[in-house]
């Protein structure tokens, strides 16, 4: 999920340069990418760190640090972004197919850590970042109760620990061939629907290419919780396991130890928030 405030600065350049984002010390050696382009259900990767091997087996029990974006042990670099190691080959396949049809698939956003999401959350609650209503008008949070503030933020931003971007399986994408290098990506519906600049790319993906490569769009429709995000895709074979194992209990435990604004109200209403904003109904 992308934050509205981030949409004006969501160009890949800004995201990559973010100090909390895709730290280069976490990058795998380039040669590992060849090894990692095996199938996710292939044999263990000889010479890989324990974390990567465990990452390739994320159909089994996934530890809570990985579920809540509190570790990068299962991630590798793909085009300058950190992604789950099992997604390398599907992404390569999707990019190759896109290139053959004249599109240039790029990631605007991939992995985002718990700490990064926590900063976004606290900045929004405290007014350092804007929060908008459904019509794009900036809200004055001081006029709202804590509970109303939480709901207003969660329309656009995930609760720390509950972002699908914590997993490395979910990406905000765009077609670099449709715009010139100076274009500032907004990640707004007008870009991806109707006559929007990226609409042909997304229409092409929906033609069957996306599903055939194992991806889907968890925020395709507005169900009253999270606003629709056509640009957000998810690698289903791995992400569904993460989604199934991210329970209210795992989330509550992570949040309890975090310095998050409105913690008591969040924890007291976590069941409702979980059902409305975190569970993806398909």
172 or 175: whose CB is closer to Zn ion? 172
* Number of other CB atoms surrounding residue 44 within 10 Å: 12
6 or 58: whose CB is closer to Zn ion? 6
Report the nearest approach of Zn ion to the CB of residue 183 (Å).
19
Size of the site for Zn ion (CB under 5 A): 4
110 or 241: whose CB is closer to Zn ion? 110
Q: For 17-37, b where at least 16 C-beta lie within 10 A, e where not — what string?
A: eeeebbeeeeebeeebeebbe
Which of 172, 236, 255, 273 forms a contact with Zn ion (CB under 5 A)? 172
173 or 213: whose CB is closer to Zn ion? 173
Report the nearest approach of Zn ion to the CB of residue 267 (Å).
25
Rule CB under 5 A: say whether 141 interacts with Zn ion.
Answer: no
74 or 230: whose CB is closer to Zn ion? 230
When CB distances to Zn ion are compared, the closest residue is 232
Map the footprint of Zn ion across residues 222-251, applying CB under 5 A.
232
Rule CB under 5 A: say whether 1 interacts with Zn ion.
Answer: yes
Rule CB under 5 A: say whether 2 interacts with Zn ion.
Answer: yes
Q: Which residues bind Zn ion (CB under 5 A)?
A: 1-2, 172, 232
């Amino acid at each position: 999920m992308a934050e509205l405030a981030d949409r004006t600065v969501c160009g890949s350049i800004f995201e990559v340069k973010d100090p909390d984002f895709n730290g280069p010390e976490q990058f795998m050696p380039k040669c590992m990418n060849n090894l990692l382009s095996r199938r996710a259900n292939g044999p263990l990767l000889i010479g890989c760190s324990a974390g990567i091997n465990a990452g390739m087996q994320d159909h089994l029990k996934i530890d809570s640090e990985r579920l809540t974006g509190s570790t990068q042990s299962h991630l590798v670099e793909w085009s300058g972004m950190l992604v789950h190691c099992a997604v390398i080959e599907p992404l390569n396949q999707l990019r190759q197919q896109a290139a053959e049809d004249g599109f240039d698939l790029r990631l605007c956003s991939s992995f985002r850590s718990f700490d990064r999401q926590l900063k976004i959350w606290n900045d929004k609650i405290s007014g350092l970042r804007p929060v908008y209503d459904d019509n794009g008008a900036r809200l004055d949070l001081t006029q709202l109760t804590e509970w109303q503030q939480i709901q207003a933020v969660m329309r656009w931003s995930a609760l720390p620990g509950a972002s699908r971007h914590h997993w490395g399986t979910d990406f905000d994408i765009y077609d670099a061939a449709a715009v010139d290098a100076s274009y500032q990506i907004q990640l707004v519906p007008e870009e991806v629907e109707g006559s929007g600049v990226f609409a042909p790319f997304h229409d092409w993906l929906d033609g069957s290419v996306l599903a055939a490569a194992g991806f889907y769009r968890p925020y395709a429709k507005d169900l009253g919780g999270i606003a629709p995000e056509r640009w957000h895709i998810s690698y289903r074979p791995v992400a569904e396991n993460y989604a199934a194992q991210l329970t209210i209990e795992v989330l509550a435990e992570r949040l309890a130890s975090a310095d998050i604004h409105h913690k008591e109200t969040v924890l007291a209403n976590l069941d409702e928030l979980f059902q409305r904003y975190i569970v993806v109904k398909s």
